[in-house]
Amino acid sequence: MLRWALLFLVLALVSALFGFVGIANVSMDAARILFFVFLVMFVVSLVMGRRTPSETL
């Protein structure tokens, strides 16, 4: 049980270090950009999927 407590202590310290340094803001901006990119890709795939296939001769 002491091992788990030490592991969580180390994880908390690393998370705090990243949060205080400013990496949290960078990752938030990256997540926002990726959200909009995938949203656009989703809308494009919906539009392209609704097209009827053209008839071949």
- In this predicted structure, the answer to whether residue 20 has a pLDDT above a threshold of 80 is no
Average pLDDT in the chain: 78
Q: Give residues with Cβ within 8 angstroms of 18, minimum separation 6.
A: 24
Q: What is the pLDDT of residue 1?
A: 64
Average pLDDT over residues 26-51: 83
Q: What is the pLDDT of residue 26?
A: 77
Model pTM above 0.95: no
Q: Give residues with Cβ within 8 angstroms of 47, minimum separation 6.
A: none
Band (pLDDT 50/70/90 cuts) for residue 51 is low
Rg for the chain, CA atoms, rounded = 22
User: Are the beta carbons of 26 and 34 closer than 8 angstroms?
Assistant: no
Q: What is the pLDDT of residue 7?
A: 83
Q: Cα–Cα distances in Å, from 44 out to 8, 24, 31, 54?
A: 43, 30, 20, 18
